[in-house]
Amino acid sequence: MDGAGEWVLRDTVNLKETCGHLVEQGSDVVCVVGVGDHAEFVFLELGMFDNDFVAYLHLGSRKVEKVYRIHLDNDDFRAVHPFMTVWPPSFPQLLASDEGEELRHG
């Protein structure tokens, strides 16, 4: 094989130790719903029945926090698509048509 399809295990994460303080005893739902560039972080769906949520896990520091609560009765949650941009963001300059005239939005 030319190596293009080979995977290498670089690290492991014990989810009970890392995320155990966020979930109730007996929770068994764990799904990876999004991964950042270069696998620096992951978004996990965690929980049980009506207490599901999405957690952000930074793999380098093992820091984890809840970022979204899933409402099962009215939420069509499927996946996370991380959006990344430069910081600080830069925006194009808005120009008025005449000196001192307010900008018109339309």
Sheet of 29-35, strands arranged across = 29-35, 41-47, 53-58, 64-69
- Quote the pLDDT of residue 31: 86
User: What digits encode the pLDDT tens for the residues 19-72?
Assistant: 888 877 666 678 888 888 788 899 998 877 667 888 999 999 999 999 888 877
- Quote the pLDDT of residue 1: 45
Token couple for 29: 């739902």
Q: What is the mean pLDDT of residues 2-23?
A: 80
- Quote the pLDDT of residue 75: 67
User: Bridge partners of 54?
Assistant: 45, 68
- Quote the pLDDT of residue 89: 76
